[in-house]
């Protein structure tokens, strides 16, 4: 591109109603050999050296681009645009600040165009001549930007896609709101009134009769029950009669809560204590059953022994009686190899199963009017809670104290 010593269309004509002090002249001559051009559009190097080059015309082009971005015309009377060309337009930062302060508000989607024009203006009016962009490069940048810009069909396709996505999002939002409404309706339908706090709740436990207790109240009721069982023997006996299961909170109901509903309603730590209490009840029932079985066996054998003794005549030999007693003792020894006897009166055999703490249930009520449990020696009332304090049974039937 050859440099031109004329305005090349860069001169500006001012309107008739121009402000006072603005000149109508758009060409300025400094003499026969002086610089020729429109004031405000000539670079300082051209004015000083009177040598016009391509960089001089690039400068004028940059000022014009700057006018477009800022929306303000450069003239003799209006000098705000280029107060100090050597400093104000030295770099892109200064240009950008000037553009932000003066340019009109661009519509959304076109701000990037203003940024591109600002960069082009900054590279065209640099006070370092060697850093100014060439017109060829400026045209190439414009052509590349045009080639990369989307076509009308592409823009319309993108708009259609955006509308489709917006409709899809709207439909999904409607489906989500509908699902949330169904969930809330189902939750409201599943709510039941707690018999303790009288609030509508969803999670909790109910007995076979449908008497409901919410999770919070279930935890408090269970914790309180376990604490009272340690202090009230009658309550403990009633709890054992229910198999260790919690009774329904409705006073008129005789049902209990099953373990599965209790496990879902209680926190893990409270349910662990609840299960431990049930295990204790089961162990106690097993111990009571074993004691009852043992007492029945002993009573049966004693009756058999007494019947056999009654049938024997007075002339029966002591040897026969001894053999029968030995046979009975041998039977008991084989049946109960861990049997013990009283260390004081040698009453035996004394049989114990599973629980070796004789104090644990000594003196407890059997229930149903069956009296109290006694772990003392029936011959001399000797008692020790430690099973090891009782002597191993010697295999001889002793039914009373020996003199």
If you ran DSSP here, which 8-state letter would residue 100 be given?
H
- Give the model's confidence band at 398: pLDDT under 50 very low, under 70 low, under 90 confident, else very high: confident
Contact between 203 and 215 under an 8 Å Cβ cutoff? The reply is yes
Cβ neighbours, 10 Å, residue 62: 24
Write the CA distances from 31 to 28, 50, 51, 52, 395, integer angstroms.
9, 11, 14, 15, 149
Distance between CA 192 and CA 198 in Å, rounded?
A: 9
pLDDT in tens, 121-172: 788 877 777 777 777 777 777 677 667 667 788 888 989 999 999 999 999 9
Average pLDDT, the chain: 74
Is the peptide bond prior to 349 cis by the omega test (within 30 degrees of 0)? Answer: yes
Distance between CA 278 and CA 262 in Å, rounded?
A: 13
pLDDT in tens, 235-278: 777 777 777 888 888 888 888 888 888 888 888 888 888 888 87
What is the pLDDT at residue 113? 72
Burial class (CB in 10 A: 0-12, 13-18, 19+), 43: buried
Q: Reply yes or no on whether the pLDDT at 97 is more than 80.
A: no
Of the candidates 367, 365, 361, 337, the one whose C-alpha atom is nearest the C-alpha of residue 349 is 337
Question: If you average pLDDT over residues 42-62, what whole number do you get?
Answer: 80
Distance between CA 168 and CA 165 in Å, rounded?
A: 5
299 phi and psi angles, rounded to 5 deg: -60, -40
Helix (H, G, I), strand (E, B) or coil at 28: strand
pLDDT in tens, 369-392: 677 778 888 888 888 888 788 888
Of the chain, the percentage scoring pLDDT greater than 90 comes to 5
Q: Please name the residue that has the structure tokens 């971005």.
A: 69
Contact between 136 and 1 under an 8 Å Cβ cutoff? The reply is yes
Looking from the CA of 259 toward its CB, the CA atoms found within 13 Å total 11
Q: What is the DSSP annotation of 308-376?
A: HHHHS-TT--HHHHHHHHHHHHHHHHHH-TT-EE-TTT--B-B---S--BTTSSTT-B-STT--B---S
pLDDT in tens, 194-204: 888 888 887 88
Through-space distance between the first and last CA atoms of the chain, rounded to whole angstroms: 144
Q: What is the DSSP annotation of 119-160?
A: HHHHHHS-SSGGGSPPHHHHHHHHHHHHHHSPPHHHHHHHHH
What is the pLDDT at residue 89? 44
What phi-psi label fits residue 377: left (phi over 0), alpha (psi between -120 and 50 degrees) or beta? beta
Distance between CA 226 and CA 137 in Å, rounded?
A: 90
Helix (H, G, I), strand (E, B) or coil at 277: helix
Question: If you average pLDDT over residues 42-63, what whole number do you get?
Answer: 80
pLDDT in tens, 279-319: 777 777 778 888 888 888 888 888 888 777 766 655 556 66
Distance between CA 312 and CA 320 in Å, rounded?
A: 10
Tokens (6 digits) for 46: 């051209």
Tokens (6 digits) for 343: 């260390």
What is the pLDDT at residue 176? 92
Distance between CA 99 and CA 113 in Å, rounded?
A: 12
Let me know how long the chain is: 403
Distance between CA 33 and CA 139 in Å, rounded?
A: 32
């Amino acid at each position: 591109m050859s440099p031109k010593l004329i305005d090349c269309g860069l001169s500006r004509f001012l309107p008739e109603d121009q402000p006072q002090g603005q000149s109508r002249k758009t060409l300025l001559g400094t003499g026969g050999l002086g610089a020729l051009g429109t004031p405000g559009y000539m670079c300082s190097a051209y004015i000083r050296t009177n040598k016009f080059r391509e960089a001089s015309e690039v400068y004028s082009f940059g000022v014009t681009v700057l006018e477009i971005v800022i929306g303000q015309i450069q003239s003799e009377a209006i000098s705000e645009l280029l107060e100090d060309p050597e400093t104000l337009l030295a770099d892109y930062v200064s240009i950008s600040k000037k553009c932000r302060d003066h340019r009109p508000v661009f519509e959304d989607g076109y701000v990037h165009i203003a940024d591109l024009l600002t960069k082009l203006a900054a590279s065209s009016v640099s006070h370092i001549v060697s850093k100014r962009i060439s017109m060829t490069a400026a045209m190439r940048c414009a052509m590349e930007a045009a080639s990369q810009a989307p076509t009308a069909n592409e823009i319309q396709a993108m708009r259609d896609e955006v509308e489709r996505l917006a409709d899809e999002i709207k439909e999904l939002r409607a489906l989500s709101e509908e699902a949330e409404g169904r969930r809330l309706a189902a939750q409201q339908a599943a709510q039941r009134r707690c018999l303790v706090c009288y609030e509508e709740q969803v999670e909790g436990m109910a007995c076979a009769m449908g008497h409901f207790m919410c999770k919070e109240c279930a935890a408090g009721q269970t914790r309180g029950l376990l604490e009272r069982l340690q202090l009230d023997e009658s309550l403990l006996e009633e709890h054992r009669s229910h198999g260790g299961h919690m009774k329904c909170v409705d006073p008129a109901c005789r049902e209990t809560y099953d373990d599965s509903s209790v496990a879902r309603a209680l926190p893990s730590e409270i349910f662990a204590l609840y299960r431990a209490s049930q295990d204790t009840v089961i162990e106690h029932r097993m111990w009571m059953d074993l004691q009852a079985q043992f007492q029945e066996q002993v009573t049966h054998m004693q009756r058999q022994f007494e019947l056999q003794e009654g049938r024997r005549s007075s002339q029966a030999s002591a040897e026969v009686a001894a053999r029968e007693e030995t046979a009975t003792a041998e039977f008991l020894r084989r049946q109960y190899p861990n049997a013990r006897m009283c260390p004081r009166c040698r009453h035996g055999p004394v049989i114990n199963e599973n629980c070796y703490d004789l104090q644990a249930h000594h003196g407890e009520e059997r229930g149903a009017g069956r009296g109290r449990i006694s772990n003392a020696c029936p011959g001399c009332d000797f008692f020790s809670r430690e099973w090891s304090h009782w002597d191993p049974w010697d295999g001889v039937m002793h039914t009373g104290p020996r003199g």
